[in-house]
Amino acid sequence: MGRPRTPLLDRERIGATALELIDEQGEFSVPQVARRLGVQTGSVYHHVDGRAGVVELVRERVSASIDTATLGLRPWDAALTAWARSYRAAFAAHPHAIPLLMTSPVRAPKVLRQYEQAVRLLLDTGFPMAEVMTVITALENLVLGSALDLAAPETMWELPPDSPGTENLARALAATGTGRADAAFELALDAFVNHCRVRLAPPAPHSGRPAHSGPAASADSRP
């Protein structure tokens, strides 16, 4: 028997198979990946650093669809908005992977380099070093929450006919247009980016702006 032309096992195929399993059943195990690839479980572990290593291959695969060129756009708010939309689209294609990837530490080099780009964008914009990861995390939470919502049915509330006590809900649902999930995402994104603009802007004198929405960046807060 000749050697097969394509190797039975490589990191590419391990990541693809794990993501396939997650898409199908919401989870994966390394023995399942091995079974589907027709190899021993031990062979998989020759290529990756444990189960966590497989999770990082999945992360690289899902994140590969994020258009990182968006982070090079200017001004910064155009960059942040375009990155958020692309990020959401990439994860909405694999909603079952979201909880897994959100709760495992990020180690994939390509993904870490994407965070580096986002950090640089925010530092160049004037966000203080101590706030940068908070801003990125807050944006990710709304992006990933919205990506999960995009996997939900368009009709998300089903009222029994003539149910007493939900009349206003029924009217609000009837008045809502199509594209429920997209509209909610764009509203949240708009809110977030506007808030960042306010935090970066110098306070207008005597503007009566409440203290808690004052500027976050000051001249001496840059590293």
**Residues in 163-192 that interact with its own copies by CB under 8 A:** 163, 165-169, 171-173, 175-177, 180-181, 183-185, 187-188, 190-192
Q: Which is nearer to its own copies, 33 or 144 (CB)?
A: 144
- Buried/exposed 194-222: b ≥16 CB within 10 Å, e otherwise: eebeebbeeeeeeeeeeeeeeebbeeeee
Comparison of 40 and 213: residue with beta carbon closer to its own copies:
213
- Three-state helix/strand/coil letters over 181-199: HHHHHHHHHHHHHHHHHHH
Q: Provide the minimum distance between the beta carbon of 212 and its own copies in the complex, in angstroms, as a whole number.
A: 7
Given the complex with its own copies, which of 10 and 167 has the nearer CB atom?
Answer: 167
SS3 at position 126: coil
Q: What φ, ψ does residue 36 adopt, rounded to 5°?
A: -65, -30
CB 63, CB 110: distance < 8 Å: yes
222 binds its own copies (CB under 8 A): no
User: DSSP labels for 48-93?
Assistant: SSHHHHHHHHHHHHHHTTS-GGGGG-SSHHHHHHHHHHHHHHHHHT
| Paired tokens of 196 | 């960042």
**Residue 26 binds its own copies, judged by CB under 8 A:** yes
Identify which range of 13-21, 28-36, 57-65, 104-112 contacts its own copies by CB under 8 A.
Answer: 104-112
20 or 77: CB nearest its own copies = 77
Does position 213 interact with its own copies (CB under 8 A)? The reply is yes
Residues 113-152 that bind its own copies (CB under 8 A): 113, 115-116, 119-120, 123, 129-130, 132-135, 137-146, 148-149, 151-152
Number of shown-chain residues binding its own copies (CB under 8 A): 76
CA distance 46 to 213: 52
d(CA 184, CA 88): 13
Site string for its own copies, 55-94 (x = CB under 8 A): ----------------------------------------
**How far apart are CB 136 and its own copies at their closest, in Å?**
8
